Amino acid sequence: MRTQAEHIARTLEKGLASAWLIAGDEALLTGEAADAVRAAARAQGYAGRELFVTDRSFDWSEVSAASRTQSLFAERRILEIRMPTPRPGKEGGAVLAALAADPGAENLLLVVTTRPEKETWASAWFKSFEKHGILVLAQPVEIGRLPQWIAGRGAKLGLRFEKGAAELLAERIEGNLLAAQQEIEKLALLQKDGVVSIDAVQNAVANSARYDVFQLADAALAGDAPRSLRILEGLRAEGAEPPLVLWVLCRDLRALADIRNGVAKRVYGVAAERHAALVERAARRIGREPIEPWFEAAARIDRQVKGQATGEAWTTLTGLVAALSGARLPVAMPRS
Helix, strand, coil percent values for the chain (each to nearest 5): 55, 10, 35
Residue 330 has pLDDT above 60, yes or no: no
Last residue of a domain, one of 137, 154, 184: 137
If asked whether residues 238 and 301 sit together in one domain, one would say yes
Asked if 36 and 63 count as a contact pair (C-beta separation under 8 A), the reply is: no
Q: What is the mean pLDDT of residues 240-247?
A: 90
**pTM as predicted:** 0.65
Q: What is the per-residue pLDDT for 328?
A: 61
If asked whether residues 232 and 302 sit together in one domain, one would say yes
Q: Specify the CATH number for the domain of residue 252.
A: 1.20.272.10
Q: What is the mean pLDDT of residues 17-41?
A: 93
Last residue of a domain, one of 120, 137, 154: 137
Answer yes or no: is 263 within a domain.
yes
The larger pLDDT score, comparing residue 14 to residue 267, is at: 14
CA distances (Å), origin 174, targets 50, 112, 159, 163, 169:
35, 24, 20, 18, 8
Answer yes or no: is 32 within a domain.
yes
Residue 198 has pLDDT above 80, yes or no: yes
**pLDDT tens digits for range 123-133:** 999 999 999 99
Q: Specify the CATH number for the domain of residue 95.
A: 3.40.50.300
What is the DSSP code (8-state) at residue 139? P
The larger pLDDT score, comparing residue 78 to residue 203, is at: 78
If asked whether residues 273 and 191 sit together in one domain, one would say no
Last residue of a domain, one of 80, 102, 137: 137
Answer yes or no: is 89 within a domain.
yes
Q: What is the mean pLDDT of residues 44-53?
A: 92
If asked whether residues 248 and 308 sit together in one domain, one would say yes
Residue 189 has pLDDT above 60, yes or no: yes
If asked whether residues 198 and 280 sit together in one domain, one would say no
Residue 121 has pLDDT above 50, yes or no: yes
Beta bridge pairs of residue 23: 113, 137
Q: What is the per-residue pLDDT for 292?
A: 92
How many other C-beta atoms are found inside a 10 Å radius of the C-beta of residue 319? 20
Q: What's the chain's length in residues? A: 336
**pLDDT tens digits for range 74-84:** 578 999 999 99
**pLDDT tens digits for range 212-237:** 888 899 899 999 998 899 899 988 98
Q: What is the pLDDT confidence band of residue 260, given thresholds at 50, 70 and 90?
A: confident
60 burial class (0-12, 13-18, 19+ CB within 10 angstroms)? buried
Q: What is the per-residue pLDDT for 274?
A: 73
Answer yes or no: is 333 within a domain.
no
What separation, in Å, do the N-terminal and C-terminal C-alpha atoms of the chain show?
A: 58
Domain residues for 166? 146-204
Q: Specify the CATH number for the domain of residue 152.
A: 1.10.8.60
If asked whether residues 20 and 130 sit together in one domain, one would say yes
Answer yes or no: is 93 within a domain.
yes
Q: Which of 42-51, 173-182, 186-195 comes out lowest in average pLDDT?
A: 173-182
Q: How far is it, in rounded angstroms, from Cα 80 to Cα 72?
A: 17
Residue 159 has pLDDT above 90, yes or no: yes
Alpha helices, DSSP H, located in 102-190: 118-121, 124-132, 146-156, 165-173, 177-190
CA distances (Å), origin 40, targets 43, 78, 108, 265:
5, 11, 11, 43
Asked if 251 and 275 count as a contact pair (C-beta separation under 8 A), the reply is: no
Q: How far is it, in rounded angstroms, from Cα 175 to Cα 140?
A: 8
**Residues in Cβ contact with 231 at an 8 Å cutoff, skipping those fewer than 6 apart:** 174, 211, 215, 216, 219
Total domain count, the chain: 3
Residue % of the chain over a pLDDT of 70: 92
Q: What is the mean pLDDT of residues 273-284?
A: 85
Residue % of the chain over a pLDDT of 90: 56
If asked whether residues 16 and 76 sit together in one domain, one would say yes
Q: How far is it, in rounded angstroms, from Cα 301 to Cα 293?
A: 12
φ and ψ of 212, to 5 deg: -140, 165
If asked whether residues 235 and 318 sit together in one domain, one would say yes
Q: What is the per-residue pLDDT for 71?
A: 61
Answer yes or no: is 329 within a domain.
no
